[in-house]
């Protein structure tokens, strides 16, 4: 397997550090708009970097992506960029004849007149519209294979296959007790993506109603997270699992709730009121003239890079899937989860917990694809794959998952 990894930010760099310890691939080309960043990711691997190379690449240019795929003879493209670049990379992989993986799907667009009642363009719609072309080409686009979406979807499939006869609700619940020294406000993940997820209308699925939307931060609940994290208030957030799970699994309701906290929600509401969450450029006067600048990009530039916060970060992050239903005629409720301690991920890999937890899952998926354990064609989510090999492989990687009977 020869892999083109596009994006050498926090998640991309963590991917290289995890993959370097595994023998399943022949070569991985790390590509980024900033060549120096790609080269740094490779150099940091030391003697483990002999199967890696660096390249400069504009992810928004499908022709350039195809050229790099051809030059380095890559048969798989792994997308570790933000969601703005999903479609050009997705399309370039199809045109070249490469398989494709991502951790976030094509962007949504709210309903023009009823944004908090009806879906407009849903997450992933643009990709699923191309599913027949991928199937005809005999190539696989495995979408949403990070931690959330990704591992959370694998948990959902595992619960459906082995733990339940009937499922009332599948609810992804994400929470943490992470703190960052020296900053009043410092997100642990891409603020660009976080704004997109949290300020768009959240999507909920119900079997008798289909997909519908609600107000941002709706339906607050306190969820008790394991391994010492404890109770965290969680709210509805737009996320891919709600759009993926019902395509393959039968459940009466599917939700995603994120533990944000009052301060974080307040900051996001303020950004929205000021128009600083917008992605369309505005004209800004500067000493060198007038420039077109995206307000959201300005916000991201003013905040610290999450990938560089690991030394200042303390605590744990938890991603998991809560499932309620019945087994053998009896009610059952479980929480399948994965917890990462930031001190451990920094010590073992030099990557902060949130980006490391995201990164390990596409590496495990690549290994299963390389070995033929996972396979297929078309546009598929993690729910379409057998879950047990993936969960067993996480244990082999030394990062076990857990299950708590509620």
Print pLDDT tens along the chain (406 aa).
Answer: 999 999 999 999 999 999 999 999 999 999 999 999 999 999 999 999 999 999 999 999 999 999 999 999 999 999 999 999 999 999 999 999 999 999 999 999 999 999 999 999 999 999 999 999 999 999 999 999 999 999 999 999 999 999 999 999 999 999 999 988 887 777 776 787 888 878 899 999 999 999 999 999 999 999 999 999 999 999 999 999 999 999 999 999 999 999 987 888 888 889 888 888 888 889 888 888 888 888 988 888 888 877 777 788 899 999 999 999 999 999 999 999 999 999 999 999 999 999 999 999 999 999 999 999 999 999 999 999 999 999 999 999 988 999 999 8
How far, in Å, are 186, 242, 311 from residue 308 at the CA level?
11, 31, 8
pLDDT of residue 269: 85
Rounded Cα–Cα distance for residues 97 and 65 (Å) = 12
pLDDT of residue 286: 80
Nearest-10 Cα torsion for 274, 279, 282, 286: 90
pLDDT of residue 187: 76
- SS3 of 169-180: the string is EEEEEEEECCEE
Rounded Cα–Cα distance for residues 14 and 345 (Å) = 10
pLDDT of residue 60: 96
Q: Provide the 10 A C-beta neighbour count for residue 177.
A: 16
Question: Strand 179-180 vs strand 313-314: parallel, antiparallel, or unpaired?
Answer: antiparallel
């Amino acid at each position: 397997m020869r892999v083109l990894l596009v994006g050498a930010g926090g998640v991309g760099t963590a991917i290289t550090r995890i993959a370097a310890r595994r023998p399943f691939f022949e070569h991985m080309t790390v590509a980024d708009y900033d060549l120096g960043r790609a080269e740094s990711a490779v150099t940091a691997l030391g003697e483990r970097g002999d199967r890696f190379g660096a390249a400069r690449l504009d992810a928004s240019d499908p022709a350039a992506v195809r050229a790099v795929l051809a030059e380095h003879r890559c048969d798989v493209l792994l997308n570790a960029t933000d969601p703005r670049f999903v479609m050009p990379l997705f399309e370039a992989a199809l045109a070249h004849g490469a398989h494709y993986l991502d951790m976030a799907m094509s962007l949504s667009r709210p309903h023009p007149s009823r944004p908090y009642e009806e879906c407009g363009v849903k997450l992933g719609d643009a990709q699923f519209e191309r599913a027949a072309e991928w199937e005809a080409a005999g190539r696989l686009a495995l979408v949403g294979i990070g931690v959330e979406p990704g591992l959370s979807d694998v948990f959902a499939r595992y619960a459906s296959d082995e733990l339940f006869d009937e499922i009332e609700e599948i609810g992804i619940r994400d929470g943490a007790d992470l703190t960052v020294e020296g900053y009043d406000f410092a997100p642990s993940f891409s603020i660009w993506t976080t704004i997109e997820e949290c300020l768009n209308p959240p999507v909920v699925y119900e079997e008798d109603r289909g997909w519908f939307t609600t107000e941002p931060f709706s339906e607050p609940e306190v969820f008790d997270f394991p391994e010492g994290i404890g109770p965290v208030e969680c709210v509805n957030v737009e996320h891919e699992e709600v759009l993926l799970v019902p395509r393959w699994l039968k459940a009466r309701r599917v939700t995603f709730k994120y533990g944000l906290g009052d301060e974080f929600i307040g900051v996001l509401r303020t950004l929205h009121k000021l128009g600083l969450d917008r992605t369309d450029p505005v004209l800004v006067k500067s000493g060198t003239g007038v420039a077109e600048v995206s307000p959201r990009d300005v916000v991201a530039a003013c905040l610290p890079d999450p990938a560089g916060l690991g030394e200042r970060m303390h605590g744990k992050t938890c991603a998991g899937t809560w499932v309620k239903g019945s087994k053998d005629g009896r009610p059952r409720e479980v929480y399948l989860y994965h917890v990462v301690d930031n001190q451990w991920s920094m010590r073992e890999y030099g990557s902060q917990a949130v980006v490391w937890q995201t990164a390990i899952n596409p590496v495990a998926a690549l290994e299963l694809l390389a070995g033929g354990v996972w396979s297929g064609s078309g546009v598929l989510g993690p729910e379409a794959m057998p879950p047990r090999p993936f969960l067993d492989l996480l244990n082999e990687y030394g990062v076990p998952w857990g299950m708590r009977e509620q």
